[in-house]
Amino acid sequence: EVQLVESGGDLVQPGGSLRLSCAASGFTFSMYSMSWVRQAPGKGLEWVSIISSDGGVTFYADSVKGRFTISRDNSKDTLYLQMNSLRAEDTAAYYCAKGAPLRSGRTREFDYWGQGTLVTVSS
Partner 1 sequence: EIVLTQSPDILSLSPGERATLSCRASQSVSSSSLAWYQRKPGQAPRLLIYGASSRATGIPDRFTGSGSGTDFTLTISRLEPEDFAVYYCQQFDSSPTWTFGRGTKVEIK
> Do the Cβ atoms of 70 and 80 come closer than 8 Å?
yes
Q: Should residue 115 be labelled a site residue for partner 1 when binding is judged by CB under 8 A?
A: yes
The window from 24-32, 64-72, 73-81, 107-115 that contacts partner 1 (CB under 8 A) reads: 107-115
CA 80/CA 107 separation, integer angstroms: 19
Q: Should residue 24 be labelled a site residue for partner 1 when binding is judged by CB under 8 A?
A: no
The window from 13-21, 66-74, 81-89, 112-120 that contacts partner 1 (CB under 8 A) reads: 112-120
Of residues 74-103, those binding partner 1 (CB under 8 A): 95, 97, 100, 103
Rounding to the nearest 10 degrees, give the CA dihedral for residues 110, 112, 115, 117. Answer: -50
Question: CB 113 → partner 1: shortest distance, Å?
Answer: 4
Instruction: Classify residue 13 as exposed, middle or buried by CB count within 10 Å of its CB (0-12, 13-18, 19+).
Output: exposed
Q: Should residue 54 be labelled a site residue for partner 1 when binding is judged by CB under 8 A?
A: no
